[in-house]
Amino acid sequence: MHGSGLYLSGVETLADHSTIQLVNALADPQRRLAGAAELACHWGADALLVLVRDHALGVLKPAPGFPQTLPGGPSWRTFLARCGSPGEVGGEVAFPDAGTLTSVRAFVSADGTVLALIGGNPALSSSDLDPAAFPLLTALLKAESTCAVASGLAVAASDATRRATALAKALDGARAEIELKAGDLQRALAEAARLNDELRHLNETLEQRVAERTHELEIEMAERRKAEAALVQAQKMEAVGQLTGGVAHDFNNLLTIVIGGLDTIGRHLASLPPTPATHRIERAKDMALEGSRRAATLTHRLLAFSRRQPLDPKPVDVNKLVAGMSELFRRTLGEPVALEAVLAGGLWRTHADGNQLENALLNLAVNARDAMPNGGKLTIETANAFLDEAYAAQVVEGVSPGQYVLIAVTDTGSGMDAATLEKVFEPFFTTKEVGKGTGLGLSQVYGFVRQSGGHIRIYSEPSEGTTVKIYLPRLHVAAAEQPEEDIRQDVVPTGCETILVVEDNTELRTYSTESLRELGYRVFEAATGPTALKILASRPEIELLFTDVVLPDGMNGRQLADQASCLRPELKVLFTTGYTRNAIVHHGRLDPGVQLIGKPFTYAELASKIRAVLDDVKQAS
């Protein structure tokens, strides 16, 4: 063939196709592989491959339409590396798979295009190639490659445009989200900055706060230790009070017998002619009686401390009571001690036992005098006071918040240290020399105040004097003035009425019945409640029931009196007891309408009380 086609020397056709037709077929992308196979067969090879040089990258790549992956990469790279110059190149490459090496002949054009004939025994040389056909095929393949690239670029551009649009939308959404997050971030940063400032401030003040909290804890621990100590002291005081109350009760029974016997001796001695012997007996009797009275005073103070003394509370004008005791205070204090009373105007009244309050103030005056051996000043003040809930909560022994009448007794004496203050209310505790005091004065005051529903507080320092503050509950109900009665009598009152004496203690019963008979009364006696009821039922002439409160056989004095009153409503009743925690005394106070004579009692006291009850004259026990 001639013209623009390829030709082989001595060969004009291949399967009725000219070389140019095969070239044309090779140029058609749709039948490129088939055309390549026919052309390879035409030239005596197993396969034909065209590679186009990419001058931008400087590499050879299979032309479009040919397999883009070559088997056995290393052998191909080695072979293609030798195809850098125009001409004919021979060698071996992996084909048709990586494990088979096949001979190859390549023809390299001036522009770098490679026509590789693989396998077989090609009867072709570079001189056999039509000089115009090869470059034309190369140009077509490159143009196709360029078109493919352009088409790919167009598709890529379209895809890029689509992606860019989507990206723009995503960026817009991201921008809005970022702006939102930026606002949150700014707020978070501001909060972090504030917290950082607070943390820095806390760190700067940490040492101070630790010191302050440590100080607070020290105060709390000190208050707790103080409260625990106060609780222990209160429990100890209660235990001592129970013990002393029981001892005082037994002593009262014994002292009633002793004092009664001494009274009887005295009355009989008075009827005898005076002789040296009767004079000595009289002196011995007087000494024994004085000792008994002092013992009775001690038991009375023990009962006061244990809050088991019977109180007969009435409305009390404290200002009037203090003013009425001024002369007694002066005699007690003596000339070296000045007395000053500061009485508040408009002072509330209180509900207390006036006699016991006088004894309490007198005990405080005696203690103050003893604390000022070289003289000084005693001040008694009164005032209206209010104890709030905060103060009441700190009082371990318990006190109700509310309105109180305050009595403050202050001296300029030697004062007391903290150790002494802790024990000052304990019975028998005293700072005085042996024989100078019993240690029961302040104990009696403490017991009376607590039994009256009040509160007592002592303030003292060594060499700074002492202040004792007594708080008694305010009386809110107005009470009429009660006239004071002078019940002192020079003559022992007598009578002729019939009396039933009920006492389980034989000696006490004997003393009481003999004393009443001596006073002119007709007397029946019983040791138990049931026996007394039988006597009452058979003796309508009995006008007074004189009974001990504590009786055996399951019936106490109060129960006896209640049943006796049902049988005899007009019957008068007088109780006696040496112990107040019983059926007629509740919280240290007599039940309304109850008449009581406390043990020990003398012959004269018994006579006066019996006559008063029979005559319906109420007097303090």
For the segment 41-75, what is each residue's pLDDT rounded down to a tens digit? 888 899 999 888 877 777 888 888 888 888 878 88
> DSSP state, 126?
G
Do residue 327 and residue 438 come from a single domain? Answer: yes
Q: Please check the confidence at residue 6 and state whether its pLDDT lies above 90.
A: no
C-beta separation of 583 from 613 below 8 A: no
Q: What is the pLDDT of residue 173?
A: 81
Do residue 239 and residue 336 come from a single domain? Answer: no
Helix (H, G, I), strand (E, B) or coil at 33: helix
Q: Please check the confidence at residue 558 and state whether its pLDDT lies above 60.
A: yes
**Residue scoring higher pLDDT (338 or 434):** 338
Q: Please check the confidence at residue 582 and state whether its pLDDT lies above 60.
A: no
Residue 338 lies in a domain: yes
Between 115-129, 249-263, 339-353, 556-570, the lowest mean confidence (pLDDT) is in: 249-263
Q: What is the pLDDT of residue 74?
A: 87
Do residue 420 and residue 519 come from a single domain? Answer: no
- Name the band, by pLDDT with cuts 50, 70 and 90, for residue 320: very high
Q: Please check the confidence at residue 536 and state whether its pLDDT lies above 50.
A: yes
Q: What is the mean pLDDT of residues 265-278?
A: 80
- Name the band, by pLDDT with cuts 50, 70 and 90, for residue 231: low
Residue 158 lies in a domain: no
Question: CA 207 → CA 197, 199, 201, 213, 221, distances in Å?
Answer: 17, 13, 11, 10, 21
Residue 377 lies in a domain: yes
Examine the fold and report which residue of 292, 309, 326 is the final residue of a domain before the chain moves on: 309
Distance (Å, rounded) from C-alpha 72 to C-alpha 76?
7
Between 221-225, 248-252, 258-262, the lowest mean confidence (pLDDT) is in: 248-252
Do residue 305 and residue 345 come from a single domain? Answer: no
Do residue 265 and residue 349 come from a single domain? Answer: no
Do residue 542 and residue 441 come from a single domain? Answer: no
C-beta separation of 572 from 550 below 8 A: no
Residue 443 lies in a domain: yes
Q: What is the mean pLDDT of residues 299-309?
A: 54
Residue 41 lies in a domain: yes
> DSSP state, 114?
E
Do residue 215 and residue 295 come from a single domain? Answer: yes
- Name the band, by pLDDT with cuts 50, 70 and 90, for residue 348: very high
Q: Please check the confidence at residue 119 and state whether its pLDDT lies above 80.
A: yes
Between 20-34, 263-277, 353-367, 453-467, the lowest mean confidence (pLDDT) is in: 20-34
CATH number, domain with residue 419: 3.30.565.10
- Name the band, by pLDDT with cuts 50, 70 and 90, for residue 588: very low
Residue 369 lies in a domain: yes
Domain that holds residue 237: 175-309
Q: Please check the confidence at residue 541 and state whether its pLDDT lies above 50.
A: yes
Total domains present in the chain = 4
Over the chain, what is the mean pLDDT?
78
- Name the band, by pLDDT with cuts 50, 70 and 90, for residue 127: low
- Name the band, by pLDDT with cuts 50, 70 and 90, for residue 462: confident
The 10s digit of each residue's pLDDT in 487-534 is: 445 578 989 999 999 998 888 899 899 999 999 999 999 999 999 999
Q: What is the mean pLDDT of residues 442-448?
A: 78
Residues 6+ apart with CB under 8 A from 20: 1, 3, 4, 5, 6, 133
Residue 12 lies in a domain: no
Side-chain-side CA neighbours of 320 within 13 Å: the count stands at 11
Quick one: which of 71, 507, 6, 598 has its CA closest to 299? Answer: 598
Between 23-27, 52-56, 81-85, 204-208, the lowest mean confidence (pLDDT) is in: 23-27
Examine the fold and report which residue of 309, 337, 353 is the final residue of a domain before the chain moves on: 309
Quick one: which of 515, 510, 511 has its CA closest to 494? Answer: 515
Give 115: exposed, middle or buried? Use CB within 10 Å, 0-12, 13-18, 19+.
buried
Examine the fold and report which residue of 281, 309, 337 is the final residue of a domain before the chain moves on: 309
The 10s digit of each residue's pLDDT in 400-433 is: 889 999 999 999 988 888 887 777 777 655 655 5
**Residue scoring higher pLDDT (562 or 285):** 562
- Name the band, by pLDDT with cuts 50, 70 and 90, for residue 436: very low
Residue 484 lies in a domain: no
Do residue 70 and residue 181 come from a single domain? Answer: no
Q: Please check the confidence at residue 317 and state whether its pLDDT lies above 90.
A: yes
Do residue 218 and residue 364 come from a single domain? Answer: no
- What is the percent of the chain with per-residue pLDDT over 70, rounded to a whole number? 77
Apex CA 157: angle with CA 152 and CA 162, to 5°?
125
Q: Please check the confidence at residue 155 and state whether its pLDDT lies above 80.
A: no
| Residue 526 β-bridge partners | 502
| Beta strand extents in 396-460 (DSSP E only) | 402-411, 455-460
Do residue 346 and residue 452 come from a single domain? Answer: yes
Q: Please check the confidence at residue 603 and state whether its pLDDT lies above 50.
A: yes
Do residue 273 and residue 336 come from a single domain? Answer: no
Quick one: which of 102, 117, 113 has its CA closest to 42? Answer: 117
Do residue 280 and residue 417 come from a single domain? Answer: no
Q: What is the pLDDT of residue 497?
A: 93
